Amino acid sequence: MTPKLIDPFARAINYLRVSVTDRCDFRCVYCMAENMTFLPKKELLTLEELDRMCSTFIGLGVEKLRITGGEPLVRKGIMTFFQSMTRHLESGALKELTLTTNGSQLERYADDLYAAGVRRVNVSLDTLDEDKFARVTRWGRLPQVLRGIDAAQNAGLRVKINAVALKDFNEDELFALTQWCASRDMDLTFIEVMPMGDLGNEDRVGQYWSLKDVRKQLADHYTVTDLAERSGGPARYVRLEETKQKIGFITPLSHNFCESCNRVRMTCTGELYLCLGQEDMADLRPPLRDHPNDDAPLIEAIHKAIGIKPKGHDFDYSRQRADGQVSRHMSHTGG
């Protein structure tokens, strides 16, 4: 058997997040510049190449595959890729196939996703206020997203809401978001804003709302119970006893979660990033394309890349500046 993927710190890598496109129909202020220059289509891995790449990782022990973007569902023909991954779910090699989406295309694709074996989706939604939603997404339309969430739930998909905690933006919606998710039987995860991309006019330090404060506010209104369970990602969870819902916290700034990192991220061009908050990267496209009938060079390149996975990131706002910032936009690496 080919050896499984173990990094230099004895962490087993069994979770791959794959960006299938850098394009999106929104321009969220913490993710993209408004006037983005997107990659030429010839640089993107084809859907067949994405299949081969993901299948190779699954053969090396990856059990959870999350599809991201940009917005993954805007890529032409993307459902054929989801359908091709179904065989790994049926064989038992892949335990979970899921995606992170802005929700804009769920009304169209929810039933097809369920048929392909997807059972959970994460929907990024930072506000329930239509005007604020238009402002933070620049191009987004809240009613379209809400219809998508309805369609996903009607199709049988379990929906989790991801909300980026933004100071002076959605602080006043903490309890409204929580109650809305509870009323829809949806879990909710809060994420601290990260110093990624060309900040331009976006002040990451000014946007930063510590999830320590979020948790404290929740604890002032609810009975909060810590949960030991993990979903395979970086979130730590609590249960609100009054609503019985699960609340997650992804805290790269206020609480570094790197010691248990089990994941790597691949871009739509085949660049493998070993850490969201570091520039370490291995380009897997050459061994993929240069050896179309031989996976051995690709497998060797993957093992070599895992061998340089860093211990953790260096994100830090404590000195009132965005230390540890990385140059690429979140949309480039994949949500």
What pLDDT sits at residue 47?
A: 97
Task: Show binding-site residues for S-adenosyl-L-methionine.
Answer: 30, 70, 124, 194
What pLDDT sits at residue 280?
A: 77
What pLDDT sits at residue 8?
A: 92
Quick check: is 205 in a domain? Answer: no
The dihedral over CA atoms of 23, 148, 160, 21, expressed in degrees to the nearest 10, equals -10
Quick check: is 54 in a domain? Answer: yes
Quick check: is 57 in a domain? Answer: yes
What pLDDT sits at residue 232?
A: 58
Quick check: is 285 in a domain? Answer: yes
Quick check: is 328 in a domain? Answer: yes
Task: Show binding-site residues for [4Fe-4S] cluster.
Answer: 24, 28, 31, 258, 261, 275
Quick check: is 307 in a domain? Answer: yes
Q: What is the CATH number of the domain that holds 283?
A: 3.20.20.70
Task: Show binding-site residues.
Answer: 17, 24, 28, 30-31, 66, 70, 100, 124, 160, 194, 258, 261, 263-265, 275
The whole-model pTM stands at 0.87
**321: containing domain:** 15-161+173-186+263-333
Separation CA 168–CA 114 (nearest Å): 37
Quick check: is 166 in a domain? Answer: no
Q: Is-contact 276 265, C-beta < 8 A?
A: yes
Task: Show binding-site residues for GTP.
Answer: 17, 66, 100, 160, 263-265
Could you give the strand order of the β-sheet that contains 224-226, starting from the edge strand earlier in sequence?
Answer: 224-226, 236-240, 245-250, 187-192, 158-165, 120-124, 96-101, 64-68, 15-19, 263-266, 271-273, 281-283
User: How does pLDDT run along the chain (335 residues), one tens digit per residue?
Assistant: 566 999 999 999 999 999 999 999 998 887 777 788 888 988 999 999 999 999 999 999 999 999 999 999 999 999 999 999 999 999 999 999 999 999 999 999 999 999 999 999 999 999 999 999 999 999 899 999 999 999 999 999 999 999 999 888 999 999 999 999 999 999 999 998 865 444 444 455 556 888 999 999 999 999 999 998 876 567 899 999 999 999 999 886 644 557 778 999 999 999 999 886 667 789 999 999 999 999 999 999 999 999 999 877 554 434 344 444 445 455 556 65
How many domains does the structure of the chain reveal?
1
